[in-house]
Amino acid sequence: MNNKGWPTALRHLTLSLLLAWFLGWLCGLPLLAICLTLAGFLAWHGWQLHRMQTWLLNQNIVEPPEGRGIWGSVFDDIYHLQRHQQRTQKRLKGVIQRIEDGTAALKDGVLMLNNQGNLEWWNHAASQLLGLKESQDIGQPITNLVRAPEFKAYFDASEYVTPLEMPSPANAEVQLQFQITLFSQQDRLIVCRDVSHIKQLEAMRQDFVANASHELSTPLTVISGYLETFLDHQDTLPQRWRKALKQMHQQSQRMESLIEDLLMLSRLETSQLKDHGPVHVPALLNELQLDAITLSGEKRQHIEVDAQWVDMTGIGGELSSAFGNLIFNAVKYTQAQGSIQIRWWQDDAGLHLSVTDNGLGIDSPHLPRLTERFYRADASRHAQTGGTGLGLAIVKHVLLRHDGHLQIESWLGKGSCFTCHFPLSRLAINLKRRA
């Protein structure tokens, strides 16, 4: 707004009133002359206001009306403000259009939800992946449109650390991965992507490993069978062959355990957890203790079991394999005369199994990667023990299938403690104890 407008208008009004008063005084009617001047002044401003209103209300008139004095600068100022606003609006529309074009070109579905969980906006890919229709689904709660119980549980949990994978509600053959992000005030941004291809490749990889391991196991059994037979009659063999045959036998046994572990891992990855019943863990640990003593052999380690009379639900074979791997590792990586303690107990936090040894221990940088397949903390150590490098990967998978997790604590040169934690929901009613 032009600030000079008002003083000029006031000056004009004062001059007009003085002139009117002078002329009125000459005619002997100064008051009437002033009133008539004021009325004319008001009428002129009223007319200008009317012109402004007509201009502002009529969208078709772009240019402002011609105005003089204060009204000329008011019209100009409003016109410039309007033009500035129009330019800003156009720029913002352009930005929104570009964002819309960009998200429409995305292969991943993007959805925006308000803090009530109602749909506010989504892109083209989301419509296709989830079968949404703009006309009827806008403003609807997402949990009414994606009705799977696992989605509702994931959505309500409000903790979105890991993504959720499930079949698409629009096409059960399409496997989707959902990742939710909270923003602003509990509003949610959902990104869903089609992971069917990755799943297929993963399944192919799993099938390949399972088939290759299966196919290798038969010829290997034959080879190690013959090697055993030869070794049984080693007295009849030339001396230079005996050492070679022993080594061949050792290596074939290693390959057999490797194949066994690979098959076990692929079973854990592919099969559903169905027949889980009560597992009497103390008895299972006593059996494993006997096996561990046999494995310890001349090392004569002190292996102790302290188990509460508590059962858990699960698959006995899988749990035995996981606990066995931890116990046998303790035997393998603990020096002669060392001590190994196996504890099984229940508390308010859940069910726990720990295997503690005072053996070689592991340097802390290795700890986060120990459950990766074929990861070894120390290659030379592994060469002596002849492990497969798959033991802890099996433990991790078994625990995952039993809602549990593995905690690893270790101190180089002092020993290690591997603890399996299970939730209380895994507690099984022990009928013998009740009786």
Residues that bind ligand ADP (CB under 6 A): 325, 329-330, 333, 357, 359-362, 370, 376-378, 381-382, 387-393, 416
Q: Which residue has the tokens 């799977």?
A: 148
- Min dist CB 417 to ligand ADP, Å, is 9
User: What is the phi/psi pair of residue 218, to 5°?
Assistant: -65, -55
Of 123 and 301, nearer to ligand ADP (C-beta) is 301
Other Cβ atoms closer than 10 A to 70: 20
Query: For ligand ADP, which is the closer residue by CB, 176 or 360?
Result: 360
Q: Least distance from C-beta 330 to ligand ADP, angstroms?
A: 5
Name the minimum Å distance from CB 366 to ligand ADP.
7
User: Judged by CB, which is closer to ligand ADP: 377, or 406?
Assistant: 377
Instruction: Kindly state the smallest distance separating residue 300's Cβ from ligand ADP, in Å.
Output: 18
Q: Which residue is nearest to ligand ADP (CB)?
A: 387
Q: How far is the CB of 389 from ligand ADP (least distance, A)?
A: 4
Nearer to ligand ADP, 119 or 377 (CB): 377
Say if residue 375 is exposed, middle or buried (CB neighbours under 10 Å; 0-12, 13-18, 19+): middle
Q: From the CB of 395, what's the least distance to ligand ADP, in Å? A: 8
Closest contact distance (angstroms) between CB of 357 and ligand ADP is: 5
Q: Do the strands 339-347 and 302-307 form a parallel or antiparallel pair, or are they unpaired?
A: parallel
In the bound complex, what is the minimum distance in angstroms from residue 392's beta carbon to ligand ADP?
3
Residue closer to ligand ADP, measured from CB, 52 or 295? 295
Cβ nearer to ligand ADP, comparing 284 with 326: 326
Cβ proximity to ligand ADP: between 4 and 254 the closer is 254
Report the residue number, 103 or 341, with the smaller CB distance to ligand ADP.
341
Q: Smallest gap, in angstroms, from Cβ of residue 319 to ligand ADP?
A: 16
CB of residue 354 to ligand ADP, shortest distance in Å: 12
What are the tokens at 290?
């006997």
Nearest partner of 329 among 421, 395, 284, judged by Cα: 395
Pick between residue 176 and residue 342 the one whose CB is nearest to ligand ADP.
Answer: 342
Of 256 and 378, which CB lies nearer to ligand ADP in the complex structure? 378
Q: Please name the residue that has the structure tokens 């299966």.
A: 214
Tell me whether residue 11 or residue 300 sits nearer to ligand ADP (CB atom).
300
Q: What is the nearest approach in angstroms of ligand ADP to the Cβ of residue 400?
A: 15
Beta-sheet pairing, 415-422 with 405-411: antiparallel
**Secondary structure of the chain in the HEC alphabet?**
CCCCHHHHHHHHHHHHHHHHHHHHHHHCCHHHHHHHHHHHHHHHHHHHHHHHHHHHHCCCCCCCCCCCHHHHHHHHHHHHHHHHHHHHHHHHHHHHHHHHHHHHHCCCEEEEECCCCEEEEECHHHHHHHCCCHHHHCCCEHHHHCCCHHHHHHHHHCCCCCCEEEECCCCCCCEEEEEEEEECCCEEEEEEEECHHHHHHHHHHHHHHHHHHHHHHHHHHHHHHHHHHHHHCHHHCCHHHHHHHHHHHHHHHHHHHHHHHHHHHHHHHHCCCCCCEEECHHHHHHHHHHHHHHHHHHHCCEEEEEECCCEEEECHHHHHHHHHHHHHHHHHCCCCCCEEEEEEEEECCEEEEEEEECCCCCCHHHHHHCCCCCCCCCHHHHHHHCCCCCHHHHHHHHHHHCCCEEEEEEECCCEEEEEEEECHHHEECCHHHHC
